Structure 1
Amino acid sequence: MRKAAAIALGLLLAVNVHAQDSKQESVEALLEASDADAMVDTLYSQMNQMIEGMGRQLGIKPDEQPMFDAYMNNVFTTMKEDMSWAKMKGPMIEIYSKHYSEEEVQDMLAFYQSKSGQSMVAKMPAVMADSMQVSQQLLQAFLPKVQVMAQELQVQLQNHRTKQ
Structure 2
Amino acid sequence: MRTGLAVIGLGLLAGCVATPSFDDPQLTGNELELQEFFDGDLRAYGQFQDVLGQVRRQFVVEIAGDWDGETLTLVEDFTYADGATERRVWTLRQTGPETWEGTAPGVIGTAKGEERGDRFNWRYTIDLPIVRAGEPPTTQRVTFDDWMWQLTEDRLFNRAYMYRSGFYIGEVSIMFERLD
Structure with the largest fraction of strand: 2
Larger Rg: 1
Higher relative contact order (CA 8 A, sep 6+): 1
TM-based fold match above 0.5: no
